[in-house]
Amino acid sequence: RSFQPGYEANLVLAALFGWSLSQLSPFVPSLDVGSIRSGLAPLAAVLTDPSRFSSSRAVTTALEILALALLVRDVRKHPVPVGRALRRIIFGVLALKVVIVSRQLSAEALTGAAIGLLVALASPRALKPHRPAISLLAVLMSLIISELAPENGALRVLNYVPFAAHMENPMLGLSVIADTVWPYLLIVAALCRLRPASNAWSATVVALCAAFAFALEWLQQYVPGRTPDVTTAVIALITAAVAVRYLRGSETPSTAPRSGRLEANRASNLAASLAVIVFASGLTTAWSLGRSPDETVITSQSKPMLPAPETLREPDLPGFRSGHPRLPHPDARDIARLRAENPDYIREVLKRADGGRGKLDDAILAEALSPGSQDVRTIVEQVLRLQPTWRGHAQTKPIALAYDWLHHRIPPDLMPKLRDKVIEACNYQINVIRVERMSPYNVYLYNSPLQALMACALAIYKDDPRAASVMAFTHDYWINRVLPVWRQVGGKNGGWHEGGEYVGISIGQAIYQLPAMWRSATGEDYISREPAIRGFLDFIVYRQRPDNAAFSWGDIAFTNRKPHDAVALALELRHSAAYAVWATKRPPEPTSWPWGPLTDNAFLDPSAVRSMPLTRHFDGLGLVVARSGWGADATYFSFKAGDNYWSHSHLDQGAFMIYKGADLALDSGCYCGGYASDHHLNYTYQTIAHNTLTVTDPADTAPMPPRKEKPARLIANDGGQRRVGSGWGADPAPLDRMEWEAMLDTYHTGRIERLLDEDGLVVAVADITAAYTNAASGEGRFTERTRRVERAWRVFAYDRPSDTIVIYDDVRASRAEFTKRWLLHSQAMPRVSGNTFTIDRATTSGPARLTGTVFHPSAHTLLPLGGPGFEFFVDGQNYDNGGGVQRDLAKRKQGELEAGNWRLELSPDQARKDDHFLVVLQPTLGDQVPATVAPVKDGIGAEIRTPERTLRFTFEPGRLGTTIDISRGGKTSRHHVFGDGAPIESEGWIPEILQKIRNFL
């Protein structure tokens, strides 16, 4: 009764009903609290961080609702009001999404719906003749914006098999169909409101709908991250045909005479309307195609696979080398130099090759170094017998190398079989990477499935039509996934997040091999233009302590695992300091796989490092490494405050290490006894094993969830940081940077807000609050832990002239009774006297000592904890793997790896929410005399006095940073070093209620 008689009104109402269905599929309600929270997660994300609001999504929703509401108004009976009913339906449907499994309510949907309804219901009656045209324009623009919205991902080709994806997931398929049908019902209704139906116009409407849908899908091939599918065009065609048939079958022929002038005006208005619509739609399309991907916020726990090779577009590689060999190989100059300067190398390779019957790798290399020396048929037959197993790289690499290096000498009758073998190997590597969800953040990818895939893809590309999809996958993975992760982790200055030997067996055998192979075959040179690649060499230099052992970082069992690619990369980029770290004087030989620059004794210069700066900030890691000089007696330290990159790193934001003659403040624990051993998960991985802060809630006892048929596991309550990354069973390694950023609330664990490096000072101002607390903390999850920390700020300062370190912490606990601990780990027992402590080590250069003075809190307890049976003590137990850690360490050379025997715990004597720690550390070696230190008279601060100058550090509670006054020769200078840390929130019941609301959302 509220709408005009006729089937156009029914079509509009059907579109409104279809929109409702599309919002509420899969129609499975759930009143579970976790499901409701998931449904509200996008809304909560925007309330917490307004920068996450996507204006394009809001505009899309506004246009959809505008189109629906305008046509609903157009088909109502005047003056029946429909505004209230529309508001109830639209906002009711949006609200119901919260309780529908896999559906979520977003701020963009609410905002867009409100704007669309407001504009539609407020439009004047004078616009009534133009409502169908405006509605048509709105729905077309909404489809263009949503369908051509770029996402982080690869370009994909159009799928021409209708309903293929829908049949694989029928429930999702029905949802997609509902989402596709209603806009085209609306388009048909609008077009038929613009002009009365006729046979010709009906056919035109169907053709327009199908053509428009197909055009959008075709254009998606050129939009990153989209999945173009002809199914959408098929659904649009069927929808339009059925709707038009419905209208044509229901209309009553008119016998009234038609005015020629009226028909001419109507045709003129229709043409003008369509011209405006086409022009506006074209502008919208151009704008959409020019957009960059919005920041993605993903709350779903589903973990997608990498795209299948056949869904990706073949890349455009204009500089691709068509001839062979394409991979790095020994050229004439290399061979001549080896013959002249290291003939034994060639002789030994030929001996092991044994005419092609020996070791396959040597046989291939021998034939490349000395053509005709090997029986190529025998080599190829060996290759053909290879069957990829496990991760496949051990077999794929020689398959690719034989095909590429020996290409012109392969017997013609064996070439088709060898091509088949190369394609088989390539597809095996792709399957391994996809099925195992290998991650650019993790060692498994670089050891060495990706090197194998790149080698075989480059070797066979353009030689076989089957290689097109292989190259499409390889190009997408390398360009769109691996390189962005290298840029993220390496930042502007290089570095890698995985610990110890993983630098050697992970990125250390990929950082040169991958870009060198790519450049050799395609001409695209990432080695020379990527700061993260060159910066890796700086990282290799700065991670070496004055005793030339690598610092202890993350999971480490061996401190001197060689990163093989560093030598090749150093020769390539002429980085003599990095070359000197690992190279030794020896005859020339290749430095990388499949081939690298020959070693060069003339380039070996151990003194080159002395020209490098004494401080380096590895910004991607949030790591500062500095030293007092380049001598063996130098003070060396590191300080870390950055994000978590999942793999083989620890919960150690805010941690520092100090070396002077020996480890004085060390990273304790040992990567002994295997991954996920009791010692590994309960102690060395957790914050308790590092020189940082803990805040303990006795109720933080949620067990580690069961995984892979293993029962739930109790983990020590160390009071430390959120359990993020590998080993905790929460999330697999991110597939790419996009997936990492979608979980930013999990992986963001701190940042260095400001770094000062001048006047002999190195000052890092860091906010590590996120390491302890995120939006999910306090919800009972094992990984996110209880909510214990509202603020954790650390200022780490080093004065090079006085060799003095000042550490200031501003910590606010969620509850006063939570115990705060300031930690420092050592090999030797700390000796405490009043507010000072000392740690002494014997070295070949004389006694090494660390002297510490506590200025805040004024009332405190200094507790040394350790010794036999308590080395790795936490939460009432010593996690020594039943003595296994000590037995492992006893087998090693003295000083090879020190796991620490003691820690010093500094705690305030009075329980309160806010505490401030101020500790001054002074490393000395031999007869060195430390500078004079004293607290400032007013407030929180410390003075450091030497004959040359006096430094005064002052700190303001509730403000992240420090002011440093330097007095020398009667002159005073000042440095203000402050970050952007949030000010203290006011106490009271209103902030607490708001926080509870945020936590629930």
Written as one letter, the residue type at 189 is: A
- The reply to whether 241 and 382 lie within a common domain is no
> Which residue in 755, 773, 899, 917 sits closest to 827, CA to CA?
899
Helix axis angle, 415-435 relative to 393-405, nearest 10°?
Answer: 140
Same domain, 551 and 620: no
Write down the pLDDT at residue 724. Answer: 96
Structure tokens at 760: 């002999």
Q: Do 904 and 824 form a contact (C-beta atoms < 8 A)?
A: yes
Residues 582, 524, single domain; the answer is yes
- At 253, the pLDDT band (50, 70, 90 cuts) reads very low
Residue-wise pLDDT tens digits, 599-622: 999 999 999 999 999 999 999 999
**Do 38 and 170 fall into the same domain?**
yes
% of the chain beyond a pLDDT of 90: 68
Q: State the chain's mean pLDDT as an integer.
A: 89
Q: What is the C-alpha separation between 550 and 900, in angstroms, rounded?
A: 16
AA identity, residue 529: R
Which amino acid belongs to residue 586? R
Phi, psi of 797 (to 5 degrees): -125, 140
Q: Could you tell me if 277 and 136 are in contact, meaning their C-beta atoms sit under 8 angstroms apart?
A: yes
Q: Who has greater pLDDT, 371 or 39? A: 371
pLDDT of 236 over the 60 cut: yes
Residue reference for tokens 């690869």: 154
Interatomic CA distance for residues 369 and 330, integer angstroms = 7
Structure tokens at 816: 């006063």
Burial of 479 (0-12, 13-18, 19+ CB in 10 A): middle
Mean of pLDDT values over 762-768: 98
Nearest to 916 by CA among 815, 797, 807, 755: 807
Q: Rounded CA gap, 910 and 359, in Å?
A: 70
Instruction: Kindly state whether residues 197 and 141 are assigned to the same domain.
Output: yes
| DSSP assignments along 67-127, one per residue | HHHHHHHHHBPTT---HHHHHHHHHHHHHHGGGBTT----HHHHHHHHHHHHHHHHS-GGG
Residue ending a domain, choose from 571, 591, 612: 612
Q: Which of 2-11, 107-116, 824-833 has the lowest mean pLDDT?
A: 2-11
Note the pLDDT of residue 296: 32
Q: Which range has the top average pLDDT, 204-208, 657-661, 701-705, 732-736?
A: 657-661
- Structural domain total, the chain: 3
Do 581 and 466 belong together in one domain?
A: yes
CA distances for 72 relative to 138, 178, 182, 770, 913, angstroms: 14, 19, 14, 49, 58
Could you give the C-alpha distances from 69 to 114, 116, 122, 136, 196, in angstroms and in order? 11, 8, 11, 12, 21
Look at residue 266 and tell me whether its pLDDT is greater than 80: no
- Comparing CA positions, the residue from 489, 422, 988 lying closest to residue 741 is 489
- DSSP letter (8 states) at residue 148: T
The 3-state secondary structure of 281-299, one letter per residue: HHHHHHHHHCCCCCCCCCC
pLDDT band for 1000, please (50, 70, 90 cuts): low
Instruction: For residue 804, list its beta bridge partners.
Output: 799
Q: Match 């960059």 to its residue by tokens.
A: 292
Which three-class secondary structure state does DSSP give residue 494? coil
Kindly state the average pLDDT of the residues 380-407.
Answer: 97
In angstroms, what CA-CA distances link 370 with 339, 353, 366, 411, 414?
10, 11, 6, 18, 22
Give the torsion sign (CA, 919, 635, 650, 672).
negative
Mean pLDDT of 170-189: 81
The predicted structure's pLDDT at residue 985: 44
More confident residue, 835 or 265: 835
Residue 308 included in any domain: no
Q: Calculate mean pLDDT across residues 730-739.
A: 91
Cα separation of 187 and 596, whole Å?
A: 61
Q: Same structural domain for residues 736 and 688?
A: yes
Report whether pLDDT(166) > 80: no
Mean pLDDT of 186-198: 80
Res. 696: pLDDT tops 80: yes
Question: Quick one: average pLDDT of 489-509?
Answer: 92
Question: Rounded to the nearest 5°, which phi and psi values hold at 152?
Answer: -70, 115
Greater model confidence, 227 or 885: 885
pLDDT higher than threshold 80 for residue 875: yes
- Is residue 177 within 8 A of residue 235, CB to CB? The reply is yes
Coil, strand or helix at 828: coil
- pLDDT value for 643: 98
- Three-state SS for 246-282 is HHHHHCCCCCCCCCHHHHHHHHHHHHHHHHHHHHHHH
Look up residue 608 and give its two tokens. Answer: 């080159």
Buried (b) or exposed (e) across 93-111, using 16+ Cβ within 10 A? bbebbbbbebbbbbbbbbb
In a domain, 762, yes or no: yes
Residues 601 and 622 in one domain: no
Q: Is the dihedral of CA 547, 549, 550, 552 positive or negative?
A: negative
Q: Does 835 fall in a domain? A: no
The confidence score (pLDDT) of residue 271 equals 65
pLDDT greater at residue 224 or residue 926: 926
Q: Which domain holds residue 424?
A: 324-612
pLDDT classification of 252: cutoffs 50, 70, 90: very low
Residue 940 in this model has a pLDDT that exceeds 80: yes
| Owner of token pair 């506004």 | 62
- Confirm whether 624 is domain-assigned: yes
Residue 813 structure tokens? 């606990």
Under 8 Å between Cβ of 471 and 428: no
Cα 492–493–497 angle (5° rounding)?
A: 105
- pLDDT score for 94: 93
Q: Which of 583, 612, 641 is the last residue of a domain?
A: 612
**Token reading at 248:** 């044509």
- pLDDT of 301 above 50: no
Contacts with 959 (C-beta within 8 Å, 6 or more apart), sequence order: 978, 981, 983
Q: Do the beta carbons of residue 20 and residue 89 sit within 8 Å?
A: yes
Give domain status of residue 2, yes or no. Answer: no
Question: Residues for the chain: how many in total?
Answer: 1001
The dihedrals phi and psi of 913, each to the nearest 5 degrees, come to: -70, -45
Say which CATH number the domain at 744 has: 2.70.98.70
Neighbours of 498 (CB within 10 A): 27
3-state secondary structure string across 178-245: HHHHHHHHHHHHHHHHHCCCCHHHHHHHHHHHHHHHHHHHHHHHHCCCCCCEHHHHHHHHHHHHHHHH
The pLDDT-based confidence of 80 (bands split at 50, 70, 90) is confident
- Residue 561 pLDDT > 70, yes or no? yes
Q: Are residues 275 and 346 in the same domain?
A: no
Task: Kindly state the average pLDDT of the residues 163-180.
Answer: 70
Q: Which residues of 218-236 are buried (b: 16+ CB within 10 A; e: fewer)?
A: ebbeebbbbbbbbbbbbbb
Confidence category of residue 256, pLDDT binned at 50, 70, 90:
very low
Across residues 190-205, what is the average pLDDT? Answer: 80
CATH number at residue 557: 1.50.10.100
In this structure, are 377 and 352 located in the same domain? yes
Give mean pLDDT, residues 14-33: 85
User: Exposure pattern of 22-42 as b/e (b: 16+ CB <10 Å)?
Assistant: bbbbeeeebeeeebebbbbbb
C-alpha pair distances (Å), 682 with each of 743, 782, 899? 25, 13, 15
Helix, strand, coil in percent for the chain, rounding step 5: 45, 15, 40
| Mean pLDDT calculated for residue range 915-939 | 96
pLDDT of residue 395: 98
Is residue 734 assigned to a domain?
yes
Work out the burial of residue 850: count CB atoms within 10 Å of its CB; fewer than 13 is exposed, 13-18 middle, 19 or more buried.
buried
Q: Do 217 and 338 sit in the same domain of this protein?
A: no
pLDDT value for 154:
64
587 and 652 within one domain: no
In a domain, 450, yes or no: yes
Give the mean pLDDT of 231-251: 82
Q: Residue type at 525? A: D
Element (H, E) at 777: none
Angle separating helix axes 513-522 and 564-573, nearest 10 degrees: 50
Report residue 331 as tokens. 């050229």
Q: 654-671 burial string, b = 16+ CB within 10 Å, else e?
A: bbbbbbbbbbbbbbbbbb
pLDDT at 969 over 60: yes
For residue 701, being part of any structural domain is answered with yes
- Its pTM stands at 0.76
- Which of residues 570, 592, 612 is at a domain's end? 612
Work out the pLDDT band at 262, boundaries 50, 70, 90.
Answer: very low
* 395 touches 386 (CB < 8 A): yes
pLDDT in tens, 426-436: 999 999 999 99
- 491 touches 535 (CB < 8 A): yes
Mean pLDDT of 67-88: 85
Task: Read off the amino acid at residue 794.
Answer: R
Residues pairing with 789 in the sheet: 813
d(CA 508, CA 497): 12
